[in-house]
Amino acid sequence: MEINRKSALPLYYQLKEIIKEDVDVGKYKPGEKIPSENELCDILSISRNTAKQAIVDLVSEGILYRVQGKGTFVAEKKIFKGLTDAFSFSSEFKSNGGKLKTKVIFAEKISESKEALEYLKLKESKELFRIQRLRVLNDIPVALQTSYIPKFFCPNLLKLDLSQNSLFDILKEHYNISFSYFTENLTCVRADRYEAEILKVKKGSPLFLLTRKTFNKNDEIVEVARSFMPGDRSEFYFRHGEGMSIELNHIME
């Protein structure tokens, strides 16, 4: 751990980079306590304000977390392939060792507005299933997902167990639906009271809103899904333009 006082980089920024590197190489493992601000001051001969600014920034970025009266610790991270790499939200979590639980908030049959039916390329006579599920990874809410599915694709869908099985597995195995491709749109919004309560964040907290349309081989929309994901637990990044990934940070307060 060394600070370069001749560098053009601010001291607090250098400290941030040092701590990030120590975490990346495994010097400090998830759940492990890092040196206190006072200890960092002694080790690096820096001011308390410099150490504090670096730690505050790393906490806000989800790399560290504080426990009152105990110190600052390295946050756990769960990484899975991007939603652009697969149709199933569930499989992306499970394939990376995460303990995923799904809670069905509601599952109902609805008759949507003319505008909504046009959005889904459906006739006015068609009914939809609306299913809302909460995704919990290692006991932390990571996504509130609402799916809209035309009833004629899967007439008895609501009679099946939607909490223990992947929705896409059900559609493939029970209804022989073949998926062709999907499109996604990512925006940033703020949590309203309902979303904040379900996702256990403060009202007004930043959320990622990922809207996905999934098509079958006949170019019909099988599902439209809207997923709200807390901004402090999710980070989107691209890999060489080939896909998108999400990193989930285990935040503890």
How far is 160 from 151, CA to CA, in rounded Å?
Answer: 14
Question: Please, which contacts does 58-61 make with residues 24 or more away whose CB atoms are closer than 8 Å?
Answer: 58/16, 58/19, 58/20
178 torsion bin: left (phi>0), alpha (psi -120 to 50), beta (else): beta
What does the pLDDT read at residue 86? 47
- Kindly report the length of the chain: 253
Which 8-state DSSP code applies to residue 33? B
User: What is the rounded distance in angstroms from the CA atom of residue 208 to the CA atom of residue 195?
Assistant: 12
Cα 197 to the center of its chain, rounded Å:
16
Which DSSP category does 202 fall into? -
Record the tokens describing residue 241, joined without a space. Answer: 């333009």
Report how far residue 146's alpha carbon sits from residue 227's, in angstroms, rounded to the nearest whole number: 6
Q: Identify the pLDDT of residue 198.
A: 94
152-189 tens-digit pLDDT: 899 999 998 888 878 888 888 888 888 888 888 888 88
For residue 178, the model assigns a pLDDT of 86
| Secondary structure class of 196 (helix, strand, coil) | helix
Cβ(153)–Cβ(177) below 8 Å: yes
Select from 65, 85, 84, 72 the least CA-distant residue to 140: 65
pLDDT at position 53 is: 93
**83-136: pLDDT as tens digits:** 444 445 555 555 445 577 899 998 988 876 665 666 666 666 578 888 999 988
Q: In this predicted structure, what is the pLDDT of residue 235?
A: 64
Q: What DSSP assignment string belongs to 81-113?
A: --GGG-S-HHHHHHTTT--EEEEEEEEEEE---
pLDDT tens profile 64-79: 888 888 999 998 764 4
Amino acid identity, position 233: R
Average pLDDT for residues 48-55, to the nearest whole number? 93
- Alpha carbon distance 160, 71 (integer Å): 47
Question: Mean pLDDT, to the nearest integer, of 22-43?
Answer: 89
The single-letter DSSP state of residue 152 is: G
Q: Say whether pLDDT at 233 is over 80.
A: no
Tell me the domains of the chain and their CATH numbers.
Answer: 11-74 (1.10.10.10), 77-249 (3.40.1410.10)
Closest CA to 154 of 181, 176, 185: 176
